[in-house]
Amino acid sequence: MASKLYVVSTPIGNYDDITLRALKILNEVDFIICEEFKDARRLLSHYKIEKELFSLNEHNEKEASFELFQKIKDGKSAALISDCGTPLFSDPGHLLVQLCINSNIEIIPIPGANSLLPALIASGFKLDKFYYAGWISPKKELRKKELTKLKSIKELIVLMETPYRLKSILSDIKNIFGDNTQIALAFDLTLPTEKIFRGKVSEIFKVIEKENLKGEFVIVLDNRENN
């Protein structure tokens, strides 16, 4: 396994979603690269895996990437994980991956859990194609501009959001795309509290206000029929 970087997907909430291949790789690599030590140790402890950990996050990415790249280049194998789910989606690690690619070090993706595909397949929408918009700006005016721009994309649109801005983004979607815009809202995917809300954005907004839900969300918005 010398001089290889494995990009390993880990569960987004339900530990049973780890793959056999991911467990095998995490047990065999020389070291594991994580975002936060606390989350990584909790995960690895659950599977009884003991490995040397190195942190790579938004605060130390540049310096840590070069140091970790050198260790891999010197003949070590490493696994890159995020706090949960599939790494590199709005997570650090791109610089390290690029450094390895530039030096012809093999990058091996280990597929697994993510929130994107479960939200899509549970949405009820036809999935021949979709547009991944990801995380939009937390700033009110920028968010409105980004959503207005997205309105011109006549596709199924996927948005990621934090629990703290859900009401704001639903309100903005309602105002910009229209009350009758059909959406699916995936809440706490893979957890016992998992819920999928489907219907008009105006109706779902009322439900969210009433229940005051706090958790991780993915929004699937059908903009194919809107004008």
The predicted pLDDT at position 1 comes to: 58
Helix (H, G, I), strand (E, B) or coil at 43: helix
| pLDDT band, residue 26 (cuts 50/70/90) | very high
For residues 109-131, average pLDDT: 95
* pLDDT tens for each residue of 171-211: 999 999 999 999 999 999 999 999 999 999 999 999 988 88
Give the neighbor-by-neighbor strand order of the sheet with 31-34.
52-55, 31-34, 77-80, 4-8, 106-110
Tell me whether domains 4-110 and 116-222 share a fold.
no
Q: What is the CATH number of domain 4-110?
A: 3.40.1010.10
For residues 157-169, average pLDDT: 87
Asked whether the predicted pLDDT for residue 225 surpasses 80, the reply is no
Average model confidence (pLDDT) across the chain: 93
- Global pTM reads 0.89
> Which residue in 210, 203, 166 sits closest to 183, CA to CA?
203
Q: What is the CATH topology of the domain spanning 116-222?
A: 3.30.950
For residues 214-224, average pLDDT: 92
| pLDDT band, residue 227 (cuts 50/70/90) | very low
| Count of Cβ atoms closer than 10 Å to residue 129 Cβ | 8
Contact (CB, 8 A) for 121 and 114: no
Instruction: Indicate the domain borders of the chain.
Output: 4-110, 116-222
| pLDDT band, residue 226 (cuts 50/70/90) | low
| Total residue length of the chain | 227
